[in-house]
Amino acid sequence: MSDPYEPPRPRDDALESELESLHQQEEEGHATPKEQRRAEQLERRLRVDEHGEEVRDRREQDREQDREDSEERHRQRHH
């Protein structure tokens, strides 16, 4: 999940806006099979983007923890 304090990415906003429009058409009974497939595609893309962001965040946290651990080991050796 993205950080609520981090500004949303413009691409995600555009995808979500298009997806919302497609859902509205579907609710009103106006969605064509092509539009329904497009909505499914957008939902998958947004989930993949969200998962990718979570993975990047986790890797960044791991790198930070590794850096802190390394600094702590270095301090212990030299004291």
pLDDT given for residue 62 in this prediction = 92
CA-to-CA distance for 25 and 30, rounded, in angstroms? 5
- What's the pLDDT tens digit per position in 7-57? 656 778 888 888 898 888 888 888 788 988 989 998 988 888 888 888 899
CB contact at 8 A, 22 and 40 = no
Domain ranges of the chain: 35-79
pTM above 0.75, yes or no: no
**How far is residue 54 CA from its own chain's centroid?**
6
pLDDT given for residue 5 in this prediction = 62
Neighbours of 54 (CB within 10 A): 12
CB contact at 8 A, 53 and 9 = no
pLDDT at 59 exceeding the cut of 90: yes
CA-to-CA distance for 49 and 29, rounded, in angstroms? 29
